[in-house]
Structure 1
Amino acid sequence: MAGGKGGSGKTTTTLGLARALSRRGAPVVAADADWDLPNLARLASATGADRESAADAPTVLDAVRGEREISPDRRAPTVLSPPDAPADADARRALGALSAAVPDDSPTLVDCPAGASPDAAAPLRAADRSLLVTPLRRAALRDAAKTAALARRLDCAPIGVVAVRAESVPAGVSDLLGCQVLGRVPRAEPEPLSDSSVRAAYDDLARRLADAHGAERWRVA
């Protein structure tokens, strides 16, 4: 999950899509690769039905070192936090080893750092596909295009774009970013993931991704 700027909706989309895939029966893993500004586990804790503490989330290093068994099930996504001491860990190596630590039939979503920085390059090198997430503001779209270019250079070409906080999507967005619009998530405040229209948007996105890219790999209904 890649985007041009902080606040572009990547983390919310990572979690919203992960939960939507869970509702389809997939044992989903969602990993936070933004080790400088992590908030995936915090968002999951704040919006989850059981309100589990973010401090209880296993880390990416726990997974790749086998220190905590990762056995995702369909009840809710398994969320992986950054290492406790991220400066002492090799992000590229850890994220690259993540696929071997996760069951083959489990879709793994990685919440990338914003932009086209070296920090964003590590998860893009590890992933096999990228999904762009962006609001439809001019500056955000311009930055998303830079992120898309980086993803293509790293052999992680975008399979589509999700327009967030959007009531409609102009035809030119697909041309600008060089990939199809796979989803549109409406604006909803103050807690988007609790809104029925937002949930429906992520359910539709999960269906499209499962049909197009996960039918032969993921355990989905």
Structure 2
Amino acid sequence: MLAIAGGKGGCGKTTIALGVGQALGTPIRRSLVVDTDRDMPNLHRRAGVDPTPGIADITASAAPTAVARHATAVENVDVLTCQDATEAAVDSAIGRLTRPDRPVVLDCPAGAGPDVARPLRAADRTVLVSLPTRQSLTDTAKTAAMARALDAPPVLTVLVGSDRSVDPSTLLCCPETIHVPSVSKPLESDRARAKYVEIADVLTKRNT
């Protein structure tokens, strides 16, 4: 499983999660993007689905994949929303996805608190998402440290709204950076979509 994490809210994590999910998915093997942010559950808005049913509706007889729905904003992606979910419900949902048969992308809360630790513990690798500002990168460095401590090491940094003038490699100690340009509709922009494919290619080469 892949975690999409960052230090600041509003840096574009959810959009990157959906874009990467689309790039990794196929019509036969659809990606699953899971919202794990109970405080700001906004995956449903970006994906173009209703907030319910979601994680809160998973039962012993209703698996997470059965509750997930097709995203309308992107292709080849199912989404599992987080509206009204308890901590225990999120833990249970993630735990039932530990051996996925398709790409699973965890859209993490911002920061480096307990809610972020939950999906990071389940993830195999982490993609760090940040704005190209000192404060955003500094906060993301704390998230990166947590990811390493929880055995979900960062494999890639994505700078959103970047003109390539900032190099975060020293601060974040991440092997590769992809710069996503500032566009008005990032899930519809060909320029942004090309970057999501580039991210997916890097992840595939690193066997994540």
- TM-score in terms of structure 1 length: 0.80
Q: How does 1:57-72 map to 2 (within 5 A)?
A: 58-60=53-55, 62=57, 65-67=60-62, 70=65
Contact 1:132 1:158 in 2 (8 A): yes
> Against the structure 1 CA distance between its residues 185 and 65, is the aligned structure 2 distance closer, same or farther, given a 3 Å change threshold?
farther
Cα deviation, residue 68, structure 1:
5.0
Question: % of aligned pairs identical?
Answer: 38
Looking at structure 1, the residues matched to 152 and 178 of structure 2 have their Cα atoms a distance apart, in angstroms, of 19
- Which of 180, 188, 191 is matched with 1:194 structurally? 188
Contact 1:193 1:199 in 2 (8 A): yes
> Against the structure 1 CA distance between its residues 88 and 144, is the aligned structure 2 distance closer, same or farther, given a 3 Å change threshold?
closer
C-alpha distance after superposition, 1:123-164 (max 9, x if no partner): 111111111001110000000000111111111111111111
Contact 2:64 2:80 in 1 (8 A): no
C-alpha distance after superposition, 1:21-63 (max 9, x if no partner): 2259742110000011111121110xxxxxxx3246x523556
Q: How does 1:11-26 map to 2 (within 5 A)?
A: 11-22=14-25, 26=29
AA aligned opposite 2:97:
L
Matched, 1:175 2:178: no
Cα deviation, residue 90, structure 1:
4.2
Looking at structure 2, the residues matched to 44 and 67 of structure 1 have their Cα atoms a distance apart, in angstroms, of 22
Other structure's SS at 1:65 match = coil
Give 1:97's aligned residue: 96
* Structure with more strand by fraction: 2
Give 1:161's aligned residue: 157
Matched, 1:4 2:3: no
Contact 1:61 1:94 in 2 (8 A): no
How many residues are treated as equivalent by the alignment? 200
Contact 1:163 1:181 in 2 (8 A): no
Give 2:206's aligned residue: 212
Give 2:76's aligned residue: 76
> Against the structure 1 CA distance between its residues 169 and 16, is the aligned structure 2 distance closer, same or farther, given a 3 Å change threshold?
farther
**Structure 2: tracts of 5 or more residues without a match:** none
> Against the structure 1 CA distance between its residues 201 and 23, is the aligned structure 2 distance closer, same or farther, given a 3 Å change threshold?
farther
**Structure 1: tracts of 5 or more residues without a match:** 46-52, 215-221
CA RMSD of aligned residues (A): 2.5
* Structure with more helix by fraction: 1
Bigger shift: 121-130 or 61-70? Answer: 61-70
C-alpha distance after superposition, 1:195-220 (max 9, x if no partner): 11011111111122112215xxxxxx
Looking at structure 1, the residues matched to 59 and 6 of structure 2 have their Cα atoms a distance apart, in angstroms, of 25
- TM-score in terms of structure 2 length: 0.85
Cα deviation, residue 64, structure 1:
7.0
Looking at structure 2, the residues matched to 10 and 88 of structure 1 have their Cα atoms a distance apart, in angstroms, of 20
Give 2:117's aligned residue: 121
AA aligned opposite 1:184:
H
AA aligned opposite 1:207:
D
Give 1:37's aligned residue: 40
